[in-house]
Amino acid sequence: MRIAAADVIVTSPSRNFVTLKITTDDGVVGWGDGTLNGRELAVSAYLAEHVVPLLIGRDAHAIEDTWQFLYRSAYWRRGPVTMAAIAAVDMALWDIKAKVAGLPLYQLLGGASRVGLHTYGHASGRDLPELFDSVRATLAEGHRSVRIQTAIPGVKAVYGVAAQAQASGERYDYEPAGRGPLPTEEDWDTGAYLRHLPTVFEAVRNEFGAELPLLHDGHHRMTPLQASRLGRSLEPYDLFWLEDCTPAENPQALEVVRRNTITPLAIGEVFNTVWDFQHLISNQLIDYVRAASTHFGGVSPLRKVMDFAAQYQIKSGFHGPTDVSPIGFAAQVHVGLSIHNFGIQEYMLHSDRTNRVFDQGMTFVDGYLHPSDRPGLGVDFDEQVAAEFPYQRAYLPFNRLPDGTMHDW
Ligand code: EZ4
Ligand code: CO
């Protein structure tokens, strides 16, 4: 079975998505996700110019060899654009293989290790009443664990806080990437954050009790010592994890944090390869792997990093924002269902408009995500509906401190 055609489709139903369609000579179609938020056309050009011509005529079943070929033959390895492009190919080929087998992908990965995936949803608020309403809305959606993000006194705009009040039951639709010609500037004050956040977690614990698993995303903004202080000051509130507390480039930073706090640590949403996790996993500096199939080279490397992590009792916590398309999301739900060391799955619902383009088989019942038993990944892509929504330039925001210094967003 040979690859007869490969097409790159960029669509923007309510945000931009890069989708790869691979068609075999006997007419089987596989779908892959190569979306890189704010840099989408770099991946679509990488695919169209440099990958698609290499795919035509290749054995569609040779997933590992194709992955290694794309990784090694470029000479220039890793990086978000390259690895998102390779991810799209890897996913599309797994989709094809599973469709040919007539099985949902998780069956090819060893079968189900659980009935479904526990998720966490997002809650945020500009003040405590708004945050509490948001937590209730998140629980009402079926999540059993909740990520808490909050406004900070004196800071005008903070990552993770929806700009508009969310009435109970209203769908959470925070999307940081703004469509428009230029990115928006936000501000930041680490001191105010370190003082304020523990008071918010204390209030949430008092309102919702000891048992609700709570998470928080530090979004790469702290120094090792600041992150240590935060981790320690949150220990009384028993976090499920503290995510991305320090910038991702420096794995040694986590050694400092680890020495100083027993708050569990998660990192890796901007990591591209297993090498980025090597030091962190082998030195047991983290508790959860935050990689996303789409930004990590696809299904194949996600399996590999989780097998490596399993030796150290480190679990999965795959990145699940809406900028991972329903295809990329399904890919990692299949991985999560099949591996033994599954931890939790972040789950932000895609918009109704996105779901018109991507027909998702996935179900979310009684707090359990299941990828469905459709053959393949379980997602169908409607090219006609996609064509109604052309690409729109969008950028993630950035941060400056009050004196104008650039800071991690
Ligand atoms: O900011 O995916 O944990 N989730 C996150 C995300 C990222 C976006 C960037 O595109 O940190 O919301
Ligand atoms: Co994050």
Q: What is the CATH number of the domain that holds 66?
A: 3.30.390.10
Nearest CA to ligand 1 atom 4: 321
Is 219 part of the annotated catalytic residue set?
Answer: yes
Atom of ligand 1 nearest to the CA of 160: 12
In this structure, the answer to whether residues 57 and 171 fall within a common structural domain is: no
Predicted local confidence at residue 249, as pLDDT: 93
Q: Which atom of ligand 1 is nearest to the CA of 243?
A: 3
Note the pLDDT of residue 173.
54
Residue 20 lies in a domain: yes
For atom 9 of ligand 1, which residue has the closest CA?
Answer: 37
CA separation for the pair 370, 169 (Å, rounded):
22
Q: Which tens digit of pLDDT belongs to each residue from 389-402?
A: 999 999 999 999 99
Ligand 1 atom nearest to CA at 217: 3
Give the atom of ligand 1 at the shortest distance from the alpha carbon of 324.
2
Q: How far is the CA of 243 from the centre of ligand 2 (A)?
A: 6
What is the chain's length?
Answer: 409
**Domain for residue 384, yes or no?**
no
135 shares its domain with 25:
no
Q: Are 185 and 400 in contact (CB under 8 A)?
A: yes
Residue 157 banded pLDDT, cuts 50, 70, 90: confident
Evaluated on CA atoms 315, 350, 271, 135, the torsion sign reads negative
- Relative to the alpha carbon of 178, which ligand is closest? 1
CA of 352 to the centre of ligand 2 (A): 23
Same structural domain, 21 and 88: yes
Residues 72 and 16 grouped into a single domain: yes
Measured at the CA of 75, the angle between CA 20 and CA 33, to 5 degrees, comes to 15
How far, in whole angstroms, is CA 222 from its chain's centroid? 21
Residue 405 lies in a domain: no
When pLDDT is cut at 50, 70 and 90, the band that residue 174 belongs to is: low
3-state SS, residue 193? helix
Q: What is the pLDDT of residues 266-325, one digit of tens each?
A: 999 999 999 999 999 999 999 999 999 999 999 999 999 999 999 999 999 999 999 999
The domain that contains 206 carries what CATH number? 3.20.20.120
Active-site residue, selected from the candidate residues 46, 106, 120, 159: 159
User: Residue 181: its pLDDT value, please?
Assistant: 87
Does residue 391 form part of some domain?
no
Gap between the Cα atoms of 144 and 364, Å rounded: 12
Is 168 a residue whose pLDDT tops 70? no
Percent of residues, the chain, with pLDDT higher than 70: 97
Quote the ligand 2 centre to 318 CA distance (angstroms): 10
pLDDT per residue as tens digits for the range 31-58: 999 999 999 999 999 999 999 999 999 9
Q: Give the tens place of pLDDT for each residue, 374-391.
A: 999 999 999 999 999 999
Q: In this structure, are 10 and 134 located in the same domain?
A: no
Ligand 2 centre and the CA of 159: distance in Å? Answer: 10
CB 274 within 8 Å of CB 77 = no
Q: Which ligand is nearest to the CA of 321?
A: 1
Q: Which atom of ligand 1 is nearest to the CA of 219?
A: 11
Kindly state whether residue 110 falls inside one of the protein's structural domains. no
3-class DSSP state of 9: strand
- The predicted structure's pLDDT at residue 177: 85
248 lies in the same domain as 347: yes
Q: Which residues contact 204 (CB under 8 A, 6 or more apart)?
A: 131, 132, 135, 148, 214, 237
Strand partners, 150: 125
- Residue minimizing CA distance to atom 11 of ligand 1: 219
74 and 181 co-located in one domain: no
Is residue 106 part of the annotated active site? The answer reads: no
Cα 180 to middle of ligand 1, angstroms: 19
Q: Which residues constitute the domain of residue 98?
A: 3-104
Q: Write out the two tokens for 78.
A: 């890793």
Q: What is the mean pLDDT of the chain?
A: 95
Distance CA 51, CA 55 (A): 6
Pocket test for ligand 1, best of 33, 43, 120, 319 (most atoms within 8 A of CB): 319
* Reported confidence tier of residue 172, pLDDT bands at 50, 70, 90: very low
pLDDT tens digits for range 131-149: 999 999 999 999 999 999 9
Q: Which residues pair with 23 in a beta bridge?
A: 5, 29
pLDDT band at 163 (very low <50, low <70, confident <90, very high): low
User: Interhelix angle for 190-208 vs 128-140, to 10°?
Assistant: 60
Closest CA to 93 of 11, 21, 36, 19: 21
Task: Tell me if 353 is assigned to some domain.
Answer: yes
Question: Distance of CA 135 to CAs 139, 242, 268, 277, 332, Å?
Answer: 6, 18, 25, 32, 25
pLDDT of residue 362: 98
Residue 360 token pair = 């998702």
- As for how many domains the chain has, the answer is 2
Q: How remote is the C-alpha of 166 from its chain's centroid?
A: 23
Q: Supply angle C-alpha 99, 78, 326, rounded to 5.
A: 35
Same domain, 176 and 263: yes
Find how far residue 301's CA is from the centre of its chain: 15
Q: Are residues 152 and 245 in the same domain?
A: yes
Rounded CA-CA distance 409/397 in Å is 7
Q: What is the dihedral of CA 280, 229, 143, 31, to 10 degrees?
A: -40
Residues with CB under 6 A from ligand 1: 37, 176, 217, 219, 269, 319, 321, 323, 396
Are residues 260 and 129 part of one domain?
yes
224 with 301, same domain? Answer: yes
Ligand 1 center–CA 62 separation, angstroms: 32
**Average pLDDT for residues 85-89, to the nearest whole number?**
99
Q: Best mutation site among 323, 325, 346 for ligand 1, i.e. most ligand atoms within 8 A of its Cβ?
A: 323
pLDDT at 233: 98
Residue 263: is its pLDDT beyond 50?
Answer: yes
| Of residues 243, 395, 402, 225, the one with CA closest to residue 323 | 395
Atom 10 of ligand 1, nearest CA residue: 37
End residue of a domain, out of 75, 104, 133? 104
Whole-number pLDDT of residue 165: 40
DSSP 183: P
| Best residue for ligand 1 mutational test, from 269, 318, 345 (most atoms within 8 Å of Cβ) | 269
* 135 & 227 share domain: yes
pLDDT at residue 334 in the model: 99
Q: If DSSP codes are grouped into helix, strand and coil, which group holds residue 291?
A: coil
What is the sign of the dihedral through the CA atoms of 322, 286, 371 and 114?
negative
Nearest CA to ligand 1 atom 8: 321
Mean pLDDT of 91-97: 99
Q: How far away, in angstroms, is 407 Cα from ligand 2 center?
A: 16
Let me know: does 110 contact 80? Beta carbons within 8 Å: no
DSSP states of 332-401:
HHHHHHH-TT---EE--PPPHHHHHHEEE--EEETTEEE--SSSBTSEEE-HHHHHTS----EE--EEE-
Q: Mean of the pLDDT values across residues 209-234?
A: 98
Q: State yes or no: pLDDT of 206 exceeds 70.
A: yes
In a domain, 276, yes or no: yes
Q: Is residue 135 part of a domain?
A: yes
Radius of gyration of the chain (CA): 21
pLDDT for res 167: 40
pLDDT of 166? 39
Of the pLDDT bands very low, low, confident and very high (cuts 50, 70, 90), residue 178 is confident
Of the residues 219, 295, 319, 334, which is catalytic?
219
Domain closes at, from 46, 73, 104? 104
